Structure 1
Amino acid sequence: MIIRVLIAIGLFLPFSLYGQEEGTPTRSAIKLDFKLPSGLTNHSFRNMMSGLADVDLNYTYHFEDIHLIAGAGIKYSYWNLESANFPNDIVTGRLEVVSPFINLGYRSIMGEKTFLDIELNGGYGRLFTSSNQNDKAYVQDAMILSPKLSFYLQASNLLYFGINGGYTLMGAEFTPSNLYLENFPAANDSYNQGKYQYFSVGFGFYAIIPTFK
């Protein structure tokens, strides 16, 4: 449900603002990023979970005089369990991450119509692992940090399109307990050590909030 709402917002924003010339741009904006995540550490997480979506929606304010940006938003990440890792059983599942965050960053104006944002997002989120092994989701709470780099190109008076990449660290581990299992096939305990970490790349929109006379 969450991902559908974010996608709907993402489709509405660019079409509603593209070509829009009315209104005076302000320092406030709405940013929406869609990224494809890939696990980095924790052997079990990296090999058993396939990242399908990593979405950030946030409000941003630009302090032009000092080139700083600050804001707040929400992150949603979705991962699918690779059932091929369980040759002797039919195991299906997914991991969903929901995290409100605050962000602080630096903006470099690279040209009349381009800029680069270097940001750090930080928040406290909740991870839900669901599987056919149990009717109840396995819940984890964790601090989440995400440094991110974004490049934007102006499309209209109020809208920019961009590409971005980032790294995310979550303060929890992926273990057999996530799926209500005693162990993973052909794995030892060392495979489950290490916090969730992943890299993601994708695209985004930067929609300036205007004032109207």
Structure 2
Amino acid sequence: MRRYISKGVVVSLTSFFAVQKGDNDIRMVYDGTKSGLNDAMWVPRFGLPTIETHLGSIEEGTFMADVDVEECFLNFPLHQSLQKLAGVDFTKYFPDPSQSTVWECWHRALMGVKSSPYQAVQGMTVSDEVICGQPEDSHNVFRWSRVRLNCPGDKDYDPSKPWVSKIRSDGKIAADLSGYVDDLHPSGSSQVEAWHTSRQAASTLNHLGIQDAACKLLEISDPLPPAIYLFN
């Protein structure tokens, strides 16, 4: 129904199995290892954010929101050359009297195939840039006008502020967006601004065809205390 899998020429099948997700759910993993598909693929190295990635956009009094992407891998199309190599055997689940086997192919990046993490991170990085828009746009909640350096060793170094941060024309730290693959954390200098960053992130994701998991939306957090910066 979601067109993740559809009819097509199948050259090689993938196996699949379930992994427990929480107490009442499962996550389906589609194994590209047994068929040899993963061994035949090359994927470039790529970086992932860490807990410190968002420290450049928050300070005392910053509010943070949370935006979650639904079924992250499945938002991105699987390359056409790989679709025929990622087949699924549905014969015993949906028997068709007119044919002996029912094989269909994956059309989306899938959990358990080597290229999926790289593809998802690449796609989400592009979407993050689209969400943040143009920094010089005065109507953009993510606007900023200059970069502030606050380096250890400087005579005016302030340990309560991030080392490198984007600053607006009014002197406030700019609203920003940091994320770890499918978990996005928009931030703002006020609760209202944080809601605006969250709305812009979610609506832009939907516009790009990437599913926003609105059911996982959390209430905007309280402003962050200065202690968060002690390990910076």
Greater share of residues in helix: 2
Question: Which one has more relative contact order, counting CA pairs under 8 Å at least 6 apart?
Answer: 2
Question: Highest Rg: 1 or 2?
Answer: 2
Q: Common fold, TM-score beyond 0.5?
A: no
TM bucket normalised to smaller: under 0.3
Greater share of residues in strand: 1
Q: TM-score, normalised by structure 1?
A: 0.23
